[in-house]
Amino acid sequence: MIEIRELTVRFGGVTPIQAMDLTLPGGACGLIGPNGAGKTTFFNVLSGFVTPATGRVLAFGDDLLALPGHRRARWGLRRTFQTEQAIEQLSVYDNVAMVHEHTGGHRRDRHRDVLTALDFVGLSVSPTAPVGALGAGERRLVELARAVVGRPRVVLLDEPAAGLPDEETGRIGAVIRRIPAELDAMTVLVDHDMSLVSACCDVTAVLDFGRLIAAGPTQEVLRDEHVVRAYLGTEEVA
């Protein structure tokens, strides 16, 4: 569970998150909203890249904002980014092992943990293959493996399937759905693909211009008239 209380972020005269109060109950949760709504800023607050002006964030009862950024990874916070972070010149294995090294995992367990993560996401290429030789869908699976290696407690996924065709998006979604049950890790998914959010998330919250405008069961939220007007842009929601 993540509890956000009175969270406000200011960049000069811009307020990308304003007085955000939200409880994400666990499992797989969605966070949606139009471009510039504050979603990635929220992830950056949780990750330690942005310091909020006010507010608290409790993750499973721990004060996340009190931890330095590097300790949040050791605590169990993982994330992906909108831009791929894997290094093309390095092998699949080394890219995942780099993350494991910074999460506090024991060196003696690294080989096992890396291969377990690659197996979990269903990446069928050789661990020795350079990431730069992989297709787009395979590279996204490497990003997911980096996010689940070791013992994650909270996994933040920032548009993990953006730009992928439907078949590969479905493959990504199948992995995301397994994270809470099989890894016992809470997942927060940011995406513009409502089909992916619907398929993966029981609960979804919506930001618009930094303000929380809806939160609750995903199907109810996607039919909320305020969400339709602010984000979906149509009064007909499939």
Per-residue model confidence as pLDDT tens digits over 73-88: 999 999 999 999 999 9
* Domain's final residue, options 136, 151, 166: 151
- Cβ atoms of 197 and 204 within 8 Å: the answer is yes
Q: Dihedral through CA 182, CA 163, CA 167, CA 128, nearest 10?
A: -60
Secondary structure string (H, E, C) spanning 205-216: EEEECCEEEEEE
Residue 238 has pLDDT above 80, yes or no: no
> Are 11 and 50 within one domain?
yes
Residue 235 has pLDDT above 80, yes or no: no
Helices (H), the chain: 39-47, 69-75, 92-102, 110-121, 136-148, 166-183, 194-200, 218-222, 225-227
Mean pLDDT of 166-174: 95
pLDDT band with cut points at 50, 70 and 90 for residue 7:
very high
Domain that holds residue 109: 84-151
Q: What is the pLDDT of residue 228?
A: 83
> Are 140 and 102 within one domain?
yes
Mean pLDDT of 93-103: 93
Per-residue model confidence as pLDDT tens digits over 88-97: 999 999 999 9
> Are 13 and 102 within one domain?
no
* Domain's final residue, options 106, 129, 151: 151
Mean pLDDT of 205-217: 92
Q: What is the pLDDT of residue 209?
A: 86
Among 113-117, 170-174, 220-224, the least confident range: 220-224
- The Cα 1–Cα 59 span in angstroms is 6
Helix-helix angle 110-121:136-148, to 10 degrees = 130
- The Cα 155–Cα 42 span in angstroms is 13
Q: What is the pLDDT of residue 232?
A: 53
Alpha-carbon distances, residue 7 vs 17, 51, 133, 190, 197 (angstroms)? 7, 10, 42, 18, 24
- The Cα 3–Cα 91 span in angstroms is 38
